Amino acid sequence: MKRMQVPEGEMMCGNRSDISRRDFLAMSALVAAGLAIAPLSWGASPIYSNKIKENNSMKTRKLGTLEVSEIGLGCMNMAGNYNPPADHQQSIATIRKAFENGITFFDTAEVYGPYIDETLVGEALQPFRDQVKIATKFGFAIDGTVALDSRPERIKRVVEESLKRLRTDHIDLYYQHRVDPNVPIEEVAGTIKELIQQGKVLHFGLSEASVKTIRRAHAVQAVTAVQSEYSLWTRNVELNGVLKTCEELGIGFVPWSPVGAGFLTGKYDTTTKYDEKSDFRAGFPRYSKEFLPLNMPIIEWLKDYAAKKNATPSQIALAWLMAKSPSIVPIPGTRTETHLLENLGAQNIHLTKDDVQAMDTSLSKFPVYGDRMGEAHMSSIDYTF
């Protein structure tokens, strides 16, 4: 089976350009051909004092009424969506190492692989399934394109398939992966409400949804969490009302790509090469030869700030998110235990409100150049900035 690349992301600023469904599907056909983002050479991990001590207990946070670890684990990359698939046993070991170190919140989706990632997560978590929370997603047609399909009959079918792959009788948090413009959100929320009544799903989530969609869905079935891209250099949700609405309605927020698809790790520079045939970032404006050099001052500032805190850039990026709100739970993705433990060191960094305000003031001096993803990939986002 061919791998499907599922683009996730949104623009930092500016209005989305209109794009026809035909053009979108044309780009999606490339996805069906198995394009995936190639790995970069990470090199040796830096020395840092905030590396998590193994078996360290972790604090918890609430996403609505769902209690999870304050840092989760995004498992998408293990299935090869942004790299060739990771070694199966290595992935199992990384997921279980995460659990050993206090992570109880694991994020996947049926379209990652497709299907491979749910199967992997189900196998890895089976020995301690009752001690963790699993989030997965529905909504892509998985038909060789990245077309959307949230028809109630499809949701009822694919939830059964996800349950089997995850080796469980319930899904803790079930997200609509992208808002389907052809299916009223009230129908989607009503379908999830039925699944909750049946005990197959415990909580309802939305991904990349607008304020209007969130409110309409929440009126039918309480939304527990909203997942969107959010990081030091992708802050749309601060501007478009999504974060404010989640706070108002008591909905948790889950930032995906919290370290900017690797950019905020400090391990990228203008010499980084993106393979046009295998790496989607080669076509994303932010990573272009034109804009990447203009964005480097952000990472240089972050490196300097992290050094002053005796931390790594990744840890500061995650700590900043957690300091923004107690209802924010980032889900950094990783394929190795080394990077996992580095990310978990973020819980040892405590940024005050004054720290965050000072950081935001400094960051305001560095505009972000270029959209986060290309127009075709942005066409499935439910809002315009």
| Residues noted as catalytic | 112
Query: Nearest to residue 177, comparing CAs of 321, 28, 7, 63?
Result: 7
As a whole number of angstroms, the distance between CA 204 and CA 247 comes to 16
Check if the beta carbon of residue 32 is closer than 8 Å to that of residue 321.
no
Structure tokens at 214: 């969130």
As a whole number of angstroms, the distance between CA 262 and CA 45 comes to 14
Structure tokens at 145: 């394109």
For 126-224, where are the alpha helices, taking DSSP H only? Answer: 152-165, 185-197, 211-220
| 116: enclosing H helix or E strand | helix 116-125
As a whole number of angstroms, the distance between CA 96 and CA 367 comes to 39
Structure tokens at 334: 């990783």
As a whole number of angstroms, the distance between CA 200 and CA 160 comes to 8
Angle at alpha carbon of residue 7, lines to 3 and 12, rounded to 5°: 165
Paired sense of beta strands 66-69 and 60-63, if any: antiparallel
As a whole number of angstroms, the distance between CA 137 and CA 159 comes to 9
As a whole number of angstroms, the distance between CA 338 and CA 336 comes to 5
As a whole number of angstroms, the distance between CA 220 and CA 186 comes to 6
Widest Cα–Cα separation across the chain: 54
3-state class of 176 per DSSP?
A: strand
With both helix axes pointing from N to C terminus, report the angle between 88-100 and 337-344 in degrees, rounded to the nearest 10.
30
Check if the beta carbon of residue 348 is closer than 8 Å to that of residue 58.
no
As a whole number of angstroms, the distance between CA 29 and CA 265 comes to 31
